[in-house]
Amino acid sequence: MKIVKLIIYVLGGLLVAGVAFFLFSFAYTSIETMSAQSTQARLEELQERERTLGSTFKEWTEIDLTYTAFRENYLVKVEMFNRLKQDLQMLSRKNALGNARFSFKYKSMLSGILKLSVSVELVGSYENIKRFLFDIENFKIEKNIKMILFKRIDLIKMKSGTMIEGVLTMEAYLAG
């Protein structure tokens, strides 16, 4: 009987060890599955973040191109306009027409061409006005200023003295 009890205890022990091994294997597999699912979810989250950061990175790497296009389309035209405006005011001061009043209107024409209408009200001697007009005609045309056209010149002698009042209207065409 002792052998039978021993066999029963051994078989019972093997049964308990088998069940324990089964439970341990099941738990280990479940933990591995959960870990794999967690890793997969984390990987998908990282891939989505990489796509988002990739598009942002692409925008930042192309920022120079964006700025260059903006500068060429808008800022260069404004710079040309301001430069011409300053040059005309400098010419009026150079020819002793310091109180000349300028008014400017600009309009975008064809792609890259800006039409600038300039009206100048001035008071000065005939010689100074004549030199001013001559300076504008012989104005060192920058590469962006394609043409300056006089549209109208009205000069009226003032009743007292040798001074002349005038209104000068011209158009400048700037190409950017």
Q: Read off the pLDDT of residues 155-164 as tens digits, 9 standing for 90 and up.
A: 888 777 778 8
70 within some domain: no
**For the chain, how many structural domains are there in total?**
2
Q: What CATH number is given to the structural domain containing 81?
A: 3.30.70.60
Spatial contact of 113 and 174, defined as CB atoms under 8 Å apart: yes
* Residues 105, 46 share a domain: no
Q: Read off the pLDDT of residues 122-142 as tens digits, 9 standing for 90 and up.
A: 988 888 888 988 888 877 666
* Residues 149, 97 share a domain: yes
Beta bridge partners of 102: 120
Give the global pTM: 0.55
* Residues 109, 40 share a domain: no
66 within some domain: no
* Residues 43, 14 share a domain: yes
Q: Find the domain containing 38 and state its range.
A: 1-61
CA pair distance 99, 122, nearest whole angstrom? 7
Q: Is 127 helix (H, G, I), strand (E, B) or coil?
A: helix
